[in-house]
């Protein structure tokens, strides 16, 4: 492989653009700036923040411009259609930062070519090349996103990507726009591109942008990395159109715990703000995070069954993949209900300030189990009540 691809994994964080396109979401400017500041602290200087689509509206233009003024650490990207006026507007929004990048959206599948642009393969290549040449007047970093790339003829993808690279494109992203691919299918696309595009080694990055319509955004992104990609598009809490995108918090923890590229940014990410960022995005988006959502869900680090609680008390590695403190989680690790055990209850008593040696644990546990059978979750107040009212 060439000078760039596979040197390290790059994240393209799209909460502020694709996340903002989620149904019912409308981030205000001050909210976008707050999220951007946290994202920048979490990400490395190699990563980019997809700030929005400047040509969409005046307010979108202003928000991208303000983000580009505030964030100096990361590349700030603006999305653009293959239109001169869109490209010019994107530059105007991003001209305040030297780390600017344009993301040209190129619809590539037969359906998109016909229904969106009414062009054939040759015409699309000509339009794409002309757009890239115009964008190069303003941007050293020109990225193209191949929209609906997973439903595009492979021979056409090879020819298009080769032409784009010849004309100065630094980054190509293959979008699974409607979540249509299985992981092995998506990975195979990247493998074939690597093997069939003759100048692929001139790219700085080859990226994956996955939607989660079948719940496969994360495994698809991983398969892309395994087969030659080195960039992943992602959004916090898995926000995005319809079922959303690859979740930033999930790909971050995958990179930390499972990924083994020799040159990786894993040590440079600020994992400790993951929980905070998730909560801020949840608040501003008004989309509640699923309780059993990986990494950031309310139940993610809670253990209720007696077997699990006993194991955790003996050694946390029995039922815990990693220390929740890594992602900034500061909540409880035990919940109490009808499946909880004696050792977990004893632990909770000590936490609540009781001396368990002075409590009839057999009687308390019997009372607790009877109480828990008729209650969804037993609270600290319930346990205090049970202790203080032992017969």
- The stretch 220-248 carries a mean pLDDT of 97
Q: What pLDDT is attached to residue 329?
A: 97
Q: Has domain 10-285 been given CATH number 3.20.20.70?
A: yes
- Window from 94-108, 232-246, 251-265, 330-344 with minimum mean pLDDT: 251-265
Q: What pLDDT is attached to residue 216?
A: 98
Q: Is the pTM of this model over 0.85?
A: yes
Is the Cβ–Cβ distance between 74 and 40 less than 8 Å? yes
- Window from 33-37, 72-76, 385-389 with minimum mean pLDDT: 385-389
Q: Which two tokens stand for residue 207?
A: 């990226």
- Window from 158-162, 218-222, 235-239, 387-391 with minimum mean pLDDT: 387-391
Distance between CA atoms of 207 and 143, rounded to whole angstroms? 10
The confidence band for 259, taking pLDDT boundaries of 50, 70 and 90, is confident
The confidence band for 376, taking pLDDT boundaries of 50, 70 and 90, is confident
The confidence band for 391, taking pLDDT boundaries of 50, 70 and 90, is low
Residue with tokens 């955004």: 217
Q: What pLDDT is attached to residue 42?
A: 98
Q: What pLDDT is attached to residue 267?
A: 74
Q: Is the pLDDT of residue 1 over 80?
A: no
Phi, psi of 341 (to 5 degrees): -110, 180
Distance between CA atoms of 70 and 114, rounded to whole angstroms? 40
Q: What count of other Cβ atoms lies within 10 Å of the Cβ of residue 316?
A: 14
- The stretch 223-244 carries a mean pLDDT of 96
Q: Which two tokens stand for residue 321?
A: 């993949």
- The stretch 87-114 carries a mean pLDDT of 97
The confidence band for 3, taking pLDDT boundaries of 50, 70 and 90, is very low
For residue 36, give the nearest of 57, 15, 62, 11 by alpha carbon.
15
- The stretch 49-72 carries a mean pLDDT of 97
Residue with tokens 């993610």: 300
Q: Is the pLDDT of residue 260 over 80?
A: no
- Window from 70-79, 137-146, 265-274, 373-382 with minimum mean pLDDT: 265-274
Return the bridge partners of 235, or none.
Answer: 247
Q: Is the pLDDT of residue 147 over 70?
A: yes
For the stretch 227-265, what's the b/e string if a residue is b when 16 or more beta carbons lie within 10 angstroms of its beta carbon? Answer: bbbbbbbbbbbbbbbeebbbbbbbbbbbbbeebeeeeeb
Distance between CA atoms of 169 and 336, rounded to whole angstroms? 56
CATH 3.20.20.70 domain position(s) in the chain? 10-285
Percent of the chain with pLDDT over 90: 92
Distance between CA atoms of 310 and 266, rounded to whole angstroms? 32
What's the chain's average pLDDT? Answer: 94
Distance between CA atoms of 35 and 320, rounded to whole angstroms? 29
Q: What pLDDT is attached to residue 134?
A: 98
Q: What secondary structure letter does DSSP report for 352?
A: T
Reported as a single tens digit per residue, the pLDDT across 350-362 is 999 999 899 999 9
Reported as a single tens digit per residue, the pLDDT across 304-355 is 999 999 999 999 999 999 999 999 999 999 999 999 999 999 999 999 999 9
- Window from 100-114, 211-225, 367-381 with minimum mean pLDDT: 367-381
Q: What secondary structure letter does DSSP report for 211?
A: B
- Window from 91-95, 180-184, 256-260, 301-305 with minimum mean pLDDT: 256-260
Reported as a single tens digit per residue, the pLDDT across 264-285 is 666 789 999 999 999 999 999 9
């Amino acid at each position: 492989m060439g000078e760039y691809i596979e040197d390290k994994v790059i994240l393209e964080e799209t909460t502020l653009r694709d996340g903002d396109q989620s149904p019912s979401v409308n981030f205000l400017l001050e909210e976008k700036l707050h999220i951007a500041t946290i994202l920048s602290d979490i990400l490395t200087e190699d990563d980019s923040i997809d700030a929005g689509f400047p040509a969409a509206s005046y307010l979108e233009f202003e928000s991208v411009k303000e983000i580009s003024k505030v964030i100096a650490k990361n590349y700030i990207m603006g999305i653009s259609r293959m239109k001169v006026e869109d490209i010019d507007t994107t530059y105007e929004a991003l001209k305040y930062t030297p780390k600017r990048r344009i993301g040209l959206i190129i619809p590539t599948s037969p359906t998109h070519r016909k229904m969106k642009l009414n062009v054939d393969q040759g015409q699309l290549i000509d339009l794409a090349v002309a757009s890239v040449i115009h964008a190069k007047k303003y941007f050293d970093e020109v990225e193209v996103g191949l929209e609906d790339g997973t439903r595009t003829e492979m021979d056409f993808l090879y020819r298009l990507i080769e032409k784009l690279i010849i004309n100065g494109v630094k980054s190509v992203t293959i979008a699974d726009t409607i979540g249509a691919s299985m992981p092995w299918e998506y990975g195979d696309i990247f493998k074939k591109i690597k093997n069939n595009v003759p100048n692929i080694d001139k790219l700085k990055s080859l990226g994956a942008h996955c939607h989660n319509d079948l719940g496969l955004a994360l495994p698809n992104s991983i398969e892309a990395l395994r087969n030659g990609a080195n960039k992943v598009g992602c959004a916090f809490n898995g926000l995005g159109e319809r079922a959303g995108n690859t979740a930033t918090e999930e790909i971050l923890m995958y990179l930390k715990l499972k990924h083994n590229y020799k040159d990786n940014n894993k040590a440079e990410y600020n994992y400790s703000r993951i929980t905070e960022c998730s909560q801020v995005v949840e608040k501003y988006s008004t989309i509640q995070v699923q309780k059993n959502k990986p990494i950031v869900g309310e139940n993610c680090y809670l253990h209720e069954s007696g077997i699990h609680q006993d194991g955790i008390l003996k050694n946390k590695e029995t039922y815990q993949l990693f220390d929740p403190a890594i992602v900034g989680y500061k909540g409880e690790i035990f919940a109490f209900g009808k499946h909880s055990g004696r050792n977990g209850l004893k632990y909770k008593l000590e936490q609540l300030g009781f001396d368990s040696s002075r409590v009839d644990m057999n009687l308390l546990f019997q009372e607790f189990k009877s109480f828990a059978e008729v209650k969804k979750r037993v609270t600290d107040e319930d346990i205090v009540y049970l202790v203080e009212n032992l017969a």
